[in-house]
Amino acid sequence: MYSSVETYYTLKMDKVAGDDDWDEVQLMILTGGNPDKPRVANKSANTMSLMSIATEVQPISLYQNDSYLKVGITLDEKVSIKVQNAETNLPVYMRQYVPGASSEVLINTSRWSGGYYNIIFTNASGEVIAKGTIYID
């Protein structure tokens, strides 16, 4: 299980090596605490620590092309995936990932209206563990 208390990580946007059709989407990986109200163990620190995660240990990755989102999950726990319209906050996609044979989820976006969408990943306890924003042309 992936867990760390009171830190969050930002993954940078990049092209997927060897695949020009997929773009990596920037995700904020939350591993505990609330990034809007940081809590720290060390009284002298006043912000959450940021770290970049090596590709091989990213718990969740998100890629986008013209018609799909490709979600990679390397966690050994159930993860709920919710995509909602950024303007209306209405959900357009909801699914629960259950660890098993495949660690990849494809989400068809070809019929979605153009605009911004928020994607939110939560664990079985309902805590947000990752979030990001995508744009559909």
- For the whole model, what pTM was predicted? 0.67
Take residue 16 and report the two structure tokens written for it.
């997927």
User: Is 53 a member of any domain?
Assistant: yes
Domain membership flag for residue 23: yes
Residue 2, in any domain of the structure: no
Looking at residue 95, which CATH number applies to its domain? 2.60.40.3080
Q: Is the residue at 86 inside a domain?
A: yes
Residue 1 lies in a domain: no
> In the prediction, which pLDDT does 129 show?
92
Q: Taking the CB of residue 55, how many other CB atoms lie within 10 A of it?
A: 11
Rounded CA separation 25/134 (Å) = 7
**Domain membership of residue 129 as a residue range:** 8-136
From first to last of its 137 residues, the chain has per-residue pLDDT tens of 333 333 343 333 344 444 458 888 888 887 644 444 333 333 333 233 333 333 445 789 999 999 999 999 988 899 999 999 999 999 999 999 998 868 899 999 999 999 999 999 999 999 999 999 999 99
- The structural domain count of the chain equals 1
What are the CA-CA distances from residue 66 to residues 18, 21, 84, 98, 102 (Å)? 17, 8, 18, 26, 23
Ramachandran quadrant class, 33 (left: phi over 0; alpha: psi -120 to 50; beta: rest):
left
Q: Quote the pLDDT of residue 67.
A: 93
